[in-house]
Amino acid sequence: MPEYKQRLLEFEARKQSDPVTNNPATGRCPVSGKPGKAVQIQTVKALLKVSLRSVRNTEHFFCADKDCPVVYFTADGTQTFRVDELRERVYQKEPDNLEVPVCYCFQHTSGNIRAATADHRQAILADIKAGIKAEQCVCDLRNPQGACCLGNVSKLIRQLEKS
Ligand SMILES: [Zn+2]
């Protein structure tokens, strides 16, 4: 059994035994145990493909751990939304999948960026910056992390230039 499935089963068991005291509001993913990044509720609502009737009006966090199937979880840890419940593929969960966007607003995929020459990579960065400046991005509604992709794109390019 993959490790995350084991963690998922443990989480479900904990939740059933005592949903409140066993899952204090730490901002840590109840499955991976890693700290999450707070996201706005409209990001969660925009990215989910399941009925929004299940979304509670409470603080949500984004889990960036590659090996964890949870994308969003509530502050109290009692509710999670997993990769298969989102409308988008999540870059952090599939960093090596060439079809997954790194920049969701302007549709630059991991594959585009990897295949590009050094000059073209700088052009992609410039395109994103120009789009941000022209207020053409809606990172909070498009990017599952609920924030601008620029850091992820820059980081990927730096990694590629090194290798
Ligand atoms: Zn997680």
Residue 27 Cα to ligand 1 midpoint, Å, equals 11
Residue 127 Cα to ligand 1 midpoint, Å, equals 32
- pLDDT for the residue 6: 72
Query: Which residues have CB atoms below 5 A from the ion given as ligand 1?
Result: 29, 31-32, 63, 65, 68, 70
Full DSSP string of the chain? --HHHHHHHHHHHHHHH-TTTTS-S-SB-TTT-PBPEEE-HHHHHHHB-S-GGG--SS-EEE---TT--EEEEETTSS-EEEGGGBSS--GGG-TT-TTSEEETTTTEEHHHHHHS-HHHHHHHHHHHHHHHHTT---HHHHSTTSS-SHHHHHHHHHHHHH-
Residue 28 Cα to ligand 1 midpoint, Å, equals 8
In this predicted structure, the answer to whether residue 159 has a pLDDT above a threshold of 90 is yes
Residue 106 Cα to ligand 1 midpoint, Å, equals 27
Please tell me the pTM assigned to this model.
0.83
pLDDT digits (tens, 9 = 90+) for 106-133: 999 999 999 999 999 999 999 999 999 9
